[in-house]
Every structure is written in structure tokens, then in C-alpha cells.
Homo-oligomer: A and B are copies of this chain.
């Protein structure tokens, strides 16, 4: 039984608490939040869980093995660092930190202390994303040509991060998990429409060392909610629509084949189109966070590295850093540092 302390009971914290409560392998010992009304809510729902406005109580608690951190992004690094230094395993909300330096520091601290450091890249644990990885791994798509995601809605304006760090982070964590190669450069554009706020609309292109290209369209000011990703391959293509309840993934047996031979047309290349059946595989509908909570407990018990370990967190933060940097320069490409992209 892994004993958990949860820091932050705002938007996402309740989901963490609920899943750690319902898992047979974990128990929630204490929850901290700066706001008393949030703690009152915890006590009404879970009378057996201790509450505090001082997160230090969690770090000092002798009966807590691991800490889950769901607080504003800027606090991830200091809280995670102190938790590791207090000898606790750590599950931290995405994005892991606000800089790659901080991310490296956490990885280092965890490795020295032989503690588990895991990032809450929730989408990686969904049935849909695991199915897409399975399809790519077994070669169904052939060479991957592009990953093209639109993730927009009328969203909460965050005060400490821009829309890239709030929304594109989801896609970057998915890409980190499913794509077979590593990004090399980023070009991003974006703008803010609310005085004093960060950019609320942004477009991020991620370049790879082959002809693979990824693009993320993120927007806090969209009248409609869209969560749709197209993944193109040389053999098959995928449409992943996370809003669809029954057919989240569709696999299209479509593509192009380049023909040899003389050009009989002035107008077109000798490109022929294949168009076949479409199928929608059944996917596991278990709540991602339930699987993730279980994985965190398993990693603590066995000592193995989590799928979304600190290195995954660092790789994602590195691209986010580069994207924001490029956005400030109207799209000038920013190269990524190879050492930040290494797999553990």
C-alpha cells in the first residue's frame, strides 16, 4: 500500500485524489491546499483524509511515501524538489517545470536518491493513444509523414503560462510517446488578445530529422471545442477525435503511390491515390488516470522507470521552451539541444 500526499486541490487535484482513493494499491493520507474551502470539500467527500493549508506537513509526514503535485506550473519545480529532498517519490502535473534546467535538476535529484519521478502526461495512458502507438509500432501506418493537431476551445486564461504550455503540452507528450523519431527544431507563431495576459492563440511547427513534420494549433478563444489529430503515414492514416465518444480513432486505408514512367500529363504528377476501407478499432475506455495511478504505484514498488519519467518531462519542456522562444521572434526556427532529448 503506497501512502500518498496530494498538494493542490484545485482543478485537477480532485481527479488525482479520487483515483488514488479508489485504487486498491494506494491510500491518500493528506491533502494540502491554500484555500480552506477546497479543504472543506475534501473533508466532506473523504472524512478519513487529513487536510492542511501547509504543504510542509505533507513533506514532513512520516507515513507518506509519495507526493502528487497539482499546483500552478511555476510552483512545480520548488515543490517537487523539496518533496524529493524529503525522500518522497513524486508525481508532478504537466508541464514538469518551466525550464529545461529545472527539469534536469529534478531528474538528477531523483536519480541520486533512487526515487521515482513521474510526470502526469495523462493522455499517454488513454486507450486511444495506446492504440495509436500500437498501430504505429506494428507498422500499420508505414513511414510517418505528419502529426497535425487542433486543440482549441473557450478556455481558462492561465496567468503564469501561455497557451502553448497549457494546451500544446498535451500533444507534445503524446508525440513523445508515439512518434518514432526525435524533434530537431521548432517554429512557432502566436499572439495575445487580452492586455496583460500571455499569448492565447499559437501555432507550433515541430521539425524532425526526416520529412516528418508536426503541427499544433492551440487557442483559448475558440467558439467551439476541437480536439482532433490527423496522423499521416505512407500506408495508412489516422484521425483521432477525442471529443467523439464512440469512434475516437479511425484508420483510413488511404494514401498516394508515386508511379514510374513518362509524364503523360502536363498538369499532374504521376501520383496515384489509394482509397480503401475505414475502420475504427475498439479502444480501452478505462479512465487514464486510474491506469496512471496504478503505474505510479507499480513503479514505486518495483523501482522501474515510469513510461512518463523525468526524461519524458524534460523532452516536452525542451520543446515548449523552444516554441515560446520562436514565438517571440515571429516564427524563426529554434534548434533543440540533443542532450535534452535523450531517452533514459
Q: Which residues of A contact B (CB under 8 A)?
A: 10-11, 34, 47-48, 72, 145-146, 148, 150, 152, 154, 156-160, 185, 187, 189-197, 201, 203, 205, 207, 211, 213, 215, 217, 219, 221-225, 230, 232, 234, 237-239, 246-247, 250, 252, 254-256, 258, 263, 265-269, 271, 273, 275-282, 326, 329-333
Q: Kindly state the separation between the CA atoms of A335 and B210 in the bound complex, as whole angstroms.
A: 29
Between A and B, 17 residue pairs with Cβ closer than 8 Å are A146-B219, A148-B217, A150-B150, A154-B273, A156-B268, A185-B330, A187-B331, A191-B211, A194-B269, A195-B258, A197-B269, A221-B232, A223-B239, A223-B250, A223-B254, A277-B281, A278-B282
Query: Contact at A187–B189, with CB atoms within 8 Å?
Result: yes
Query: Contact at A154–B275, with CB atoms within 8 Å?
Result: yes
- Chain B residue contacts of A265, Cβ below 8 A: 159
Q: Kindly state the separation between the CA atoms of A152 and B252 in the bound complex, as whole angstroms.
A: 15
Q: Kindly state the separation between the CA atoms of A224 and B234 in the bound complex, as whole angstroms.
A: 15
Nearest 3 interchain pairs by C-beta: A187-B331, A223-B252, A279-B279
Q: Kindly state the separation between the CA atoms of A268 and B160 in the bound complex, as whole angstroms.
A: 8
Partner of A223, one of B219, B232, B269: B232
Q: Kindly state the separation between the CA atoms of A141 and B265 in the bound complex, as whole angstroms.
A: 45
Partner of A269, one of B196, B232, B252: B196
Query: Contact at B280–A278, with CB atoms within 8 Å?
Result: yes
- A72-B266, A230-B224 in contact; A189/B201 too (CB < 8 A)? no
Query: Contact at A246–B266, with CB atoms within 8 Å?
Result: no
Query: Contact at A189–B217, with CB atoms within 8 Å?
Result: no
Query: Contact at A217–B215, with CB atoms within 8 Å?
Result: yes
- Chain B residue contacts of A145, Cβ below 8 A: 193, 201, 221
Query: Contact at B193–A266, with CB atoms within 8 Å?
Result: no
Name the residue on B nearest A224 (C-beta).
Answer: B239
Q: How far is the CB of A211 from chain B (nearest CB, A)?
A: 5
- Chain B residue contacts of A158, Cβ below 8 A: 267-269
Name the residue on B nearest A72 (C-beta).
Answer: B267
- Chain B residue contacts of A271, Cβ below 8 A: 156-157, 194, 197
Query: Contact at A203–B203, with CB atoms within 8 Å?
Result: yes
Q: Kindly state the separation between the CA atoms of A185 and B203 in the bound complex, as whole angstroms.
A: 15
Query: Contact at B232–A222, with CB atoms within 8 Å?
Result: yes
Apart from A221-B255, A222-B230, A279-B279, 12 more pairs, CB < 8 Å:
A11-B267, A72-B267, A148-B217, A154-B273, A158-B269, A189-B331, A193-B232, A196-B258, A221-B256, A223-B252, A330-B333, A331-B332
